[in-house]
């Protein structure tokens, strides 16, 4: 009975229209734009993690994806979250990435970027300890099985809940890092000691701390943009085994 209820809840959550944010501009023309705006793009994922995530152990994760829907150059945010009702392995287990993958399929769109916000833990597939929460082995398998859903220059930004640490990675770079036992780090860039975003700032864009945050963020933004450019330049290398 509990499993049936859980399955119905999971299906209802997946069918629910996701929180969407329309973004003007073309990722295909200038993907660096979105890397430079991570301070703003972080908010949809952080908000759904705080408000909507369901976890029996309080492990709240939010994921937001930039999807170019129906071949349009105007991109849309699709935000999702995790649903895990109990520890039982047979219980429904919905991940935030599932929302983005489903929306890409439903809109015949292409995923250009994913933002993952959540507390870190050892990876459930590779057991590696990482500075931020990486997409799990089940999600990585879905990425590999559906490469047509991703633009070749797509990136994942895995962000600590306080925004102090960011990891930028390509899809193949993420997969290769974990399959190599953490030895192949060519597809990942890590940035630490970034300016903090408080929970109050997540919900209030007019918070008095935003001007100081913006000033500090400007000093680090170029570093992330250059890191992303380097990842994309070396992208074919990550496919080599």
Name the residue ranges covered by the structural domains of the chain: 2-239
Q: How much is the pLDDT for 78?
A: 76
3-state SS class at 187: coil
**Spatial distance between the Cα atoms of 170 and 152, rounded to a whole number of angstroms:** 9
Those residues whose C-beta lies under 8 Å from the C-beta of residue 170, and which sit 6 or more positions away, are 153, 154, 155, 156, 187, 231, 232, 235, 238
- Homologous superfamily in CATH for domain 2-239: Cytidine Deaminase, domain 2 (3.40.140.10)
Contact yes or no for 165/192 (Cβ under 8 A): yes
**Spatial distance between the Cα atoms of 226 and 231, rounded to a whole number of angstroms:** 9
**Spatial distance between the Cα atoms of 154 and 91, rounded to a whole number of angstroms:** 32
3-state SS class at 149: helix
Q: How much is the pLDDT for 132?
A: 97
Positions in the chain short of pLDDT 50 = 1-2, 5, 21, 24-29, 240-241
3-state SS class at 111: strand
**Spatial distance between the Cα atoms of 150 and 186, rounded to a whole number of angstroms:** 19
Tokens representing 241? Answer: 């085994």
Residue 8 class from Cβ within 10 Å (0-12 exposed, 13-18 middle, 19+ buried)? exposed
**Spatial distance between the Cα atoms of 26 and 34, rounded to a whole number of angstroms:** 10
Contact yes or no for 196/163 (Cβ under 8 A): yes
Q: How much is the pLDDT for 160?
A: 94
Q: How much is the pLDDT for 92?
A: 76
3-state SS class at 195: coil
C-beta neighbour count of 70 within 10 angstroms: 10
3-state SS class at 15: helix
Q: How much is the pLDDT for 153?
A: 80
Q: How much is the pLDDT for 237?
A: 57
């Amino acid at each position: 009975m509990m499993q049936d209820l859980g399955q119905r809840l999971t299906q209802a959550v997946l069918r629910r229209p996701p929180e969407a944010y329309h973004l003007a501009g073309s990722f295909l023309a200038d993907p660096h734009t979105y890397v430079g705006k991570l301070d703003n793009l972080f908010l949809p994922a952080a908000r759904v993690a705080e408000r909507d995530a369901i976890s029996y152990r309080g492990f709240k994760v939010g994921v937001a994806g930039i999807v170019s829907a129906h071949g349009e150059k105007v991109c849309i945010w699709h935000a999702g979250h995790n649903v895990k009702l109990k520890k039982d392995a047979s219980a429904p287990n919905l991940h935030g990435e599932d929302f983005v993958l489903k929306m890409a399929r439903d809109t015949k769109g292409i995923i250009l970027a994913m933002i993952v916000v959540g507390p870190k833990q050892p990876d459930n597939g590779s057991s590696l300890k990482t500075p931020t929460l990486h997409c799990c082995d089940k999600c990585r398998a879905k990425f590999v099985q559906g490469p047509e859903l991703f633009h070749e220059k797509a990136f994942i930004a895995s962000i600590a809940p306080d925004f102090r640490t960011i990891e930028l990675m390509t899809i193949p770079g993420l997969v290769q890092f974990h399959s190599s036992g953490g030895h192949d780090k060519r597809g990942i860039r890590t940035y630490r000691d970034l300016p903090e975003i408080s929970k109050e700032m997540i919900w209030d864009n007019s918070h008095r701390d935003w001007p100081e945050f913006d000033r500090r963020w400007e000093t680090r933004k170029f570093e992330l943009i250059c890191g992303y450019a380097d990842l994309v330049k070396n992208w074919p290398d990550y496919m080599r085994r």
